[in-house]
Copies of this chain bind each other. A is one copy, B any other.
Amino acid sequence: MPKVGMESMRRQQLIDATIDVVAEVGLKGATINLIAKRAGMSSGIISHYFGSKQALIEASVRYLLSQLKIEYSPDNPYDRLMKIVDLNFSGIQKADSSTKTWLSFWGQSMHDPNLYRLQEINKRRLVSNLRYSFKQLLDPKTAHDAAEVTAALIDGFWLRCALSRANQEKFSLAKGYCKKYINSVLEQPTVI
Given contacts A156-B154, A164-B120, contact A106 B107 (CB under 8 A): yes
Interface of A is mostly: helix
Q: Mark A163-186, 1 if CB is under 8 A from B, else 0.
A: 110000000011001001100100
| Oligomeric state, in copies | 4
Contact A149 B181, beta carbon cutoff 8 Å: yes
Partner of A174 from the list B27, B112, B152 (CB cut-off 8 Å) is: B152
**One of B110, B154, B155, B163 near A104 (C-beta < 8 A):** B110
Residues of A within 8 A of B (CB): 23-29, 100, 103-112, 116, 119-120, 123, 145, 148-149, 151-160, 162-164, 173-174, 177, 180-181, 184
How many Å from the CB of A9 to the closest CB on chain B?
Answer: 22
CA distance A154 to B111 in the complex (A): 23
Q: A119-B163, A164-B123 are in contact. Are A26 and B110 (CB under 8 A)?
A: yes
Contact between B160 and A153, CB atoms less than 8 A apart? no
Q: List 27 A-B contacts (CB under 8 A).
A: A23-B110, A24-B111, A28-B28, A28-B108, A28-B111, A104-B108, A105-B107, A106-B107, A107-B108, A116-B163, A119-B163, A123-B160, A123-B163, A123-B164, A145-B177, A148-B173, A148-B177, A149-B153, A151-B156, A152-B152, A152-B156, A152-B157, A155-B156, A155-B160, A156-B156, A159-B159, A184-B184
